[in-house]
């Protein structure tokens, strides 16, 4: 159980993210406790956070509630309060109905509302103040993701002594799209408050540098922006990854191996199991892949006796309109395909709208013959890497969208354009009929990539560069 202490001291290393890495749980006796939510970022930063005085600034997940900072398992946690209206306007509104669709190539229509922007400003300021309050003299602060793009500048104004890094987990869009944003200059200036701005891919960094030049008339040279106050900021790519060894180990435990066999038996031992795993999000191309599979069944290219598709979709952002619509559309599509082509005890698609423990995910990855990852646009896509890490048998094929950041690394996947349904169908069939030696050759290369470039390497590369970004740096932030 977590140990707690009141009011934490100041910290040398501070992470600022929309959410704290803990979830509140109510114990059987009614007392409230906090449990670390399992996520790649928390795992990656744990050694850094515990190796020195680490703190994490973020919302604790419940609106209209102000909590005092507390310590959980040696980690200082600084909860930032959000009102119900701020959750609607800053989080569901500006973050998830303006920035999220705009940054994902406009695959849904971004909405622009001035009140949402005002809330984004207010909440970013609150996060910056919380970070300024907990960071020790000369500390390193690492700000995460699209919800907090103004924090670097706001923090720099309050605390010029800090070394500030920023990492964007989602794509940074082409300038033509970004320029639609009425507050485009403010966002670029907000990010330029950081010493180092990290993107998933070099293309994102280049888009950003072009905007710094074009919108704010900054001097840039290579990946470096020279600011009027004499500072420099660098924009570079740091493709994120997973704790590959932890996934591999988990997949090898007797419980997971047995569970994988059970899932296969429950599906009726089909010859080919296709798998999709995503947050239920319109950027993930879930409809496209289900439609492709449905057509392959309807045309007789695949037989429901031999082939099954398992689609797991975690409920996500359920109060945002686009997500409600998407859920209905997928319900309808799956129902239609199963209704039209299924037989008793053999629905071609098993659709699960829920979240599962990591062990269950590892069992699913182990059961699958073909993992189908078809986002229309995705910063990276960790599911693809988790699948690869779990394949201790060196077998299994990955069908991967060329519009996922992961496609730049997992080049031996069956790369597809998810808008091209015929192409997607052809690639799914090619993967399903590939000889074992071919599948294993591809998987070997992908496993090498994922294991050599794991989450520790990602954090280490970013923090090493951040340390160099400030010539006055002394502290060792890499652990």
Query: Is 378 a known active-site residue?
Result: yes
Residue 169 annotated as catalytic: yes
Rounded-to-integer distance, Cα 287 and Cα 285, Å: 6
205 to 41, 200, 209, 255, 405: CA distances (angstroms): 21, 8, 6, 43, 13
Q: How far is the CB of 169 from ligand ADQ (least distance, A)?
A: 3
Which of 151, 160, 137, 241 has the alpha carbon at shortest distance from 462? 241
Cα–Cα distance for residue pair 309/273, rounded to 1 Å: 6
With a CB cutoff of 8 Å and minimum separation 6, the contacts of 62 are 24
With CA atoms as reference, report the closest residue to 86 among 123, 128, 130: 123
Give the contacts of 391 (CB within 8 A, at least 6 positions apart). Answer: 251, 365, 366, 443, 447
> What's the burial of 28, exposed, middle or buried (CB within 10 Å: 0-12/13-18/19+)?
exposed
Q: How far is the CB of 386 from ligand ADQ (least distance, A)?
A: 5
Task: Give the residue with the Cβ less far from ligand ADQ, 70 or 94.
Answer: 94
Closer CB to ligand ADQ, residue 218 or residue 459?
A: 459
Residues in contact with ligand ADQ by the rule CB under 6 A: 169-170, 240, 277-279, 312, 314, 355-356, 361, 378-383, 386
Q: Give CA separation, 51 vs 74, 167, 225, 458, in Å.
A: 10, 21, 32, 17
Q: Which is nearer to ligand ADQ, 38 or 182 (CB)?
A: 38
* Distance of closest approach, residue 276 Cβ to ligand ADQ, in angstroms: 9
Residues 73, 3 contacting (CB under 8 angstroms): yes
In the bound state with ligand ADQ, the residue whose beta carbon lies nearer, of 8 and 40, is 40
| Active-site position among 145, 378, 454, 470 | 378
Q: How far is the CB of 356 from ligand ADQ (least distance, A)?
A: 4
Nearest approach, Cβ of 285 to ligand ADQ (angstroms)? 12
Q: Which one of the listed residues 23, 33, 105, 169 is annotated catalytic? A: 169
Nearer Cβ to ligand ADQ, position 381 or 401?
381
- Give 206 or 314: the residue with its C-beta nearer to ligand ADQ: 314
Q: How far is the CB of 284 from ligand ADQ (least distance, A)?
A: 7
* Catalytic residue set: 169, 378
């Amino acid at each position: 159980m977590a140990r707690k202490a009141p009011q934490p001291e100041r910290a040398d290393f501070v992470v600022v993210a929309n959410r704290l890495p803990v979830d509140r749980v109510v114990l059987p006796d009614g007392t409230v406790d906090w449990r670390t939510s399992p996520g790649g970022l928390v795992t990656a930063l744990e050694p850094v956070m515990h190796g020195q005085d680490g703190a994490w600034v973020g919302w604790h997940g419940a609106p209209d509630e102000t909590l005092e900072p507390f310590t959980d398992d040696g980690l200082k946690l600084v909860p930032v309060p959000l009102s119900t209206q701020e959750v609607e306007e800053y989080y569901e509104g500006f973050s998830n109905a303006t920035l999220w669709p705009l940054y994902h190539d406009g695959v849904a229509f971004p909405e622009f509302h001035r009140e949402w922007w005002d809330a984004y400003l207010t909440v970013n300021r609150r996060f910056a103040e919380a970070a300024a309050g907990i960071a020790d003299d000369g500390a390193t602060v690492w700000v995460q993701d699209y919800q907090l793009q103004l924090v670097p500048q706001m923090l720099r104004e309050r605390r010029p002594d800090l070394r500030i890094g920023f990492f964007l987990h989602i794509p940074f869009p082409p300038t033509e799209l970004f320029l639609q944003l009425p507050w485009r200059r403010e966002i670029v200036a907000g990010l330029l408050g950081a010493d180092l701005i990290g993107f998933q891919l070099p293309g994102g960094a280049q888009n950003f540098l072009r905007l710094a030049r074009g919108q704010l008339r900054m001097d840039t040279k290579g990946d470096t922006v020279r600011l009027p106050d004499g500072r420099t900021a660098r924009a570079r790519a740091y493709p994120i990854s997973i704790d590959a060894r932890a996934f591999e180990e988990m997949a090898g435990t007797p419980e997971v191996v047995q569970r994988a066999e059970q899932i296969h038996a429950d599906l009726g031992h089909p010859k080919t199991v296709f798998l999709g795993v995503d947050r239920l999000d319109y950027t993930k191309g879930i409809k496209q892949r289900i439609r492709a599979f449905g057509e392959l069944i309807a045309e007789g290219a695949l037989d429901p006796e031999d082939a099954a598709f398992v689609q797991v979709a975690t409920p996500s952002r359920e109060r945002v309109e686009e997500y409600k619509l998407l859920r209905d559309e997928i319900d309808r599509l799956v129902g239609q395909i199963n209704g039209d082509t299924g037989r008793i005890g053999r629905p071609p698609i098993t659709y699960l709208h829920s979240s599962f423990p990591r062990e269950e995910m590892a069992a699913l990855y182990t059961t699958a013959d073909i993992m189908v990852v078809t986002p229309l646009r995705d910063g990276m896509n960790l599911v693809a890497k988790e699948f690869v890490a779990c394949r201790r048998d060196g077998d299994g094929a990955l069908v991967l969208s060329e519009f996922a950041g992961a496609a730049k690394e997992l080049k031996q996947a069956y790369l597809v354009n998810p808008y091209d349904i015929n192409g997607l169908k052809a690639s799914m069939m090619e993967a399903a009929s590939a000889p074992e030696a071919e599948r294993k050759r591809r998987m070997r290369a992908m496993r090498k990539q994922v294991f050599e470039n794991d989450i520790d390497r990602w954090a280490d590369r970013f923090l090493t560069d951040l340390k160099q970004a400030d010539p006055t740096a002394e502290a060792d932030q890499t652990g």
